[in-house]
Amino acid sequence: MQTTATIQHKEVQEFLSKAPLSFSVGGKWVPSSNGKTFPTFDPGTGEILAEVYEATAQDVEKAVAAAAHAFTHSGWARLAPNERAVFLHRLADLVEGQRDVVAEIESLDVGKPLAQAQGDVQNFCQTIRYYADLSVHVQYRTALAVPHHEARVVHQPRGVCAFIFPWNFPFLLVGWGIAPALAAGNTVVIKPAEETPLSTLYLMNLVHQAGIPDGVVNVVTGTGEGAGAALTRDPRLARMSFTGSPEVGRLVARECGQNLVPVKLELGGKGAAVVFEDADVDATANALVSAITLNTGQVCCTASRWVVQESIYDQLVSSAAARMKNLQIGYGHDAGTQMGPVVSPKQRDRVLGYIKKAQQEGAEAVLEGGPLKVSGKEKGFYVKPAILAGDAGNVACREEIFGPVPYLLKFKNEDEAIQLVNRSSYGLANSVWSADLQRANRVAESMIAGNSWVNAHNVFVHGIPYGGVNLSGMGGGVLGPNTFFDYLRDLSVVRPLA
Ligand code: NAD
């Protein structure tokens, strides 16, 4: 460990002191077969947190083999749902018991404020519990009423399910991904993002402690082109779930297509918030600033285009700009920090690059934004939030920036607002803000996306599906009851009656 950050929990010290960190295959901690490692950084200090073993294609093959073996031999797939649920609730209990330890690891690795990381860990536990409970209550046999046949559909676990995750919500997303797959009786191989592998590795300690059979959950750490691509090419997969950018999503889908492995893609977004003149302007400005600065704007569904009715435009802009200027930006562990750094120098360059390019294309910088030096943490990857405004063709209005940079657009009437929202090639999540609920619901239903929120942004409730259309994803999304059935295959059993 090379960070100078003050670590609060001895468990985190111990965990990091074991670096280079091994990954977990078949219930064992293993180094990469060629001994190669890669560093993961503390974005708040710019220093290396730990070296992590970089899985080779051969290591990935072994992980898939371990998961395949566990599927057929460990008994996990054949356990009654309530028996599997006991293991999963035990895992949730263990994670809850170590919430602050996992949150510290997450905050160090991603740069997010500690309180947000604690919320992510809690969300992970809720997801595990939601699908564990759901699995006990669903029907695994559906009788079919057809003439002259006795027939039913039986829902069976599929086999090895692979998961590739991004770096913005590493721990929370692991929960969203693997909870339904495990509750349905599958085994899994996880490839976390190379920027943020630590919380997923730490989770494996708790998976082992929970007594989940060896090989049911496997983690391989490494690069996208290396371990990630090797995973997508494995013909033994029963299913692939990818969360990340549309560019990589295409590659993943293409590779899986070669083997006809079904793919679920949760991709990027360019979410809009439509604010009508009868909305509470200050409260809406506050909510939108919170949304665009949450996780330093590195949120797929954030409100990145603010589409504002012209009569309240100036008032909303000045209210939002004042709040953004007062935001406390700093180290994730420091009390009072509202916004941490972005995850990497590459991400910082991306955000700053978009701010510059947008202005070159004619956008107005209502709030300048730019790089930021935090005292005592000068090498951290900090940025100041910006607010841009201009026409809808601007690059910053079309493309996902993934930073604290909203783009403002004005509208005159409802039709124009809907048209501005729907001209995006993404389709993840938008919101409508209005005191007139009839209008708000009408506009919400006109949006081409997976999710429309009314008088709120970033609403995640277990039991409500969350997913995207067009460039934002395909395959049914996550968090809903149907997600559970994505991890079961259907088998029709039929007997003709004489
Ligand atoms: P990314 O697409 O660059 O990487 C995501 C993962 O894919 C990483 O683990 C990476 O190692 C892996 N990868 C890279 N190349 C690969 C390849 N050739 N084959 C297989 N795997 C490969 O995305 P990112 O920068 O980590 O995350 C940001 C993106 O994720 C944004 O677009 C964001 O909107 C999106 N996202 C979407 C959701 C959602 O639920 N829809 C949630 C979080 C993030």
Residue 390, phi then psi, degrees to nearest 5: 160, -150
pLDDT at 161 > cutoff 80: yes
Write the DSSP assignment of 128-139 as a string of letters: HHHHHHHHHHS-
Catalytic-residue membership of 300: yes
What number is the average pLDDT over the span 463-482?
96
**Chain segment 25-74, per-residue pLDDT in tens:** 999 999 999 999 999 999 999 999 999 999 999 999 999 999 999 999 99
pLDDT at 154 > cutoff 70: yes
Catalytic-residue membership of 266: yes
Contacts for 30 with CB less than 8 Å, ≥ 6 apart: 22, 23, 24, 53, 59, 62
pLDDT band at 174 (very low <50, low <70, confident <90, very high): very high
Nearest to residue 483, comparing CAs of 266, 270, 267? 266
For ligand 1, mutation pick of 168, 172, 199 (most atoms within 8 Å of CB): 168
pLDDT at 437 > cutoff 70: yes
**Chain segment 310-321, per-residue pLDDT in tens:** 999 999 999 999
pLDDT at 208 > cutoff 70: yes
Distance CA 309, CA 274 (A): 8
Q: For residue 317, how far is its CA from the centre of ligand 1 (angstroms)?
A: 32
pLDDT at 209 > cutoff 90: yes
Look at residue 435 in the predicted model and tell me its pLDDT.
98
Q: CB–CB of 117/210 below 8 Å? A: no
Q: CB–CB of 447/418 below 8 Å? A: yes
Average pLDDT, the chain: 97
Distance CA 160, CA 140 (A): 19
Tell me the sheet residues that pair with 323: none
Look at residue 2 in the predicted model and tell me its pLDDT.
55
E strand or H helix at 308: strand 303-309
What number is the average pLDDT over the span 183-193?
98
Distance CA 127, CA 169 (A): 14
Q: CB–CB of 163/178 below 8 Å? A: yes
pLDDT at 1 > cutoff 70: no
Regarding the beta carbon of 193 and ligand 1, being less than 6 Å apart is answered yes
What number is the average pLDDT over the span 133-157?
97
pLDDT at 4 > cutoff 80: no
Catalytic pick from 266, 397, 399, 400? 266
**Chain segment 383-433, per-residue pLDDT in tens:** 999 999 999 999 999 999 999 999 999 999 999 999 999 999 999 999 999
Regarding the beta carbon of 222 and ligand 1, being less than 6 Å apart is answered no
Q: For residue 248, how far is its CA from the centre of ligand 1 (angstroms)?
A: 6
Regarding the beta carbon of 81 and ligand 1, being less than 6 Å apart is answered no
Nearest to residue 129, comparing CAs of 180, 172, 174? 180
| 494 DSSP assignment | E
Q: For residue 265, how far is its CA from the centre of ligand 1 (angstroms)?
A: 10
Regarding the beta carbon of 228 and ligand 1, being less than 6 Å apart is answered yes
Distance CA 62, CA 66 (A): 6
Regarding the beta carbon of 399 and ligand 1, being less than 6 Å apart is answered no
Nearest to residue 220, comparing CAs of 17, 486, 497, 29? 29
What tokens appear for 213 in the block? 């059979």
Distance CA 54, CA 439 (A): 52
Q: CB–CB of 174/165 below 8 Å? A: yes
Look at residue 6 in the predicted model and tell me its pLDDT.
82
**Which segments of 330-408 does DSSP mark as H helices, in order?**
345-360, 395-398
